[in-house]
Structure 1
Amino acid sequence: MDIEVRALPQLSSMLIAWAALLLLYLMLRKFLYKPVSNFLNARKEKIQGDLDGAKALNEEAVHLKEDYEGRINQAKLESQQIIENARKRGEEVREDIIAEAKLEAETIINKARKEIAREKEIALQDVKSQAGEMAILIASRIMEEQVNMDTQKNLINKFIDEVGKSKWQS
């Protein structure tokens, strides 16, 4: 058996190996590399699209959050303003009620003063008429009885006591 050992392979076998390798490379590139590469590119684009979509959603969520926080702050300000307006309106209503009550009290006091003045006038008229009647009665009694000064004073005092008791008790 004779084995031949060569340091360099034969040119024909080397060319066949190179041709087979080139053919294998071209076939793998056409049937395996391009579909796998297309698949990986599509997956990469999908992942990038998902990341971009997530980023956009995140930005939108941040924007919505800021918008909602702004609305909440605005609602708080509006509620504080409504409360302040209601408090002011309550103060105004309270002051109006107090002013009305004071006016009504003054009206009642003025009516009472007028009524007191009227009653006082009526009482004075009664006293005048009674004094006139008493004077007439006293004069008639004095004329009926001719009396001296002491008797006249006693008669007047007695008459005043009688008239005073009967008039004030009735």
Structure 2
Amino acid sequence: MIVSISFLIFVGILIKFKVPAMLTGLLDKRAEGIKADLDEAKALREEAQTLLASYERKQREVQAQADRIVENAKEEASQAAVQAKEDIASSVTRRLAAAEDQIASAKAAAIRDVRDQAVSVAVAAAQDVIAKQTSGADASKLIDDAIAEVGAKLH
């Protein structure tokens, strides 16, 4: 019974000094602080999700741009290869044409040289034959005729 009375006196003193109200106020403040922390955490989480979504969108855009760049580079490389093949083909064609022209020119020069040589041999042979068959008097007569002919053509 003394314990009951002591307990009641103790509870009465606590009520008189408003300890339960202070404890309730402290608990309310603590609950408000926790609620504020939870609200702030929720806001930070939403902001983080927004940033994550933004970064993921930017990453997709950058990846798409990188894919386009790679595709363009492949296309340009393919076009460059085709152009190089065409250039090589035209170069080979030009070189073949130039070689054929050189061959034709060399052939024509060889034919000219053979003809010139044949003419020289023929003239030398004719000169030998004429020299052997022509006497001094005939040679003088031929020279006089040639001079007269040149004189007639010049005047």
TM-score range, shorter chain: 0.5 to 0.7
Please list, as runs of the form range in 1=range in 2, the aligned pairs for 1:40-79 lying within 5 A after superposition.
40-79=38-77
Who is 1:109 aligned against? 107
Aligned length: 120
Quick one: which amino acid aligns to residue 65 of structure 1? Q
Bigger share in helix: 2
- 1:126 aligned partner: 124
- Computing the radius of gyration from Cα coordinates, the structure with the larger value is 1
Give the structure-1-normalised TM-score. 0.61
| Counterpart for residue 28 of structure 1 | 27
Structural mapping, 1:75-154, within 5 Å: 75-136=73-134
State how far apart, in whole Å, the 2-side matches of 1:131 and 1:33 are: 143
- Show CA shifts across 1:115-145 (max 9, x none): 11111111111221222244359xxxxxxxx
Q: Which amino acid aligns with 1:130?
A: D
Q: What TM-score do you get using the length of structure 2 for normalisation?
A: 0.67
Q: Give unpaired runs (5+ residues) of structure 2.
A: 1-14, 136-155
CA-based RMSD:
2.6
SS of the residue 1:91 aligns to: helix
Where does structure 1 lack aligned partners over 5 or more consecutive residues? 1-15, 138-170
Q: Deviation at 1:49?
A: 1.3
- Name the CA distance, whole Å, in 2 between partners of 1:25 and 1:81: 81
Relative CO higher for 1 or 2, CA cutoff 8 Å, sep ≥ 6?
1
Superposition deviation, residue 22 in structure 1: 8.2
CA distance in 1, matches of 2:63, 2:34: 42
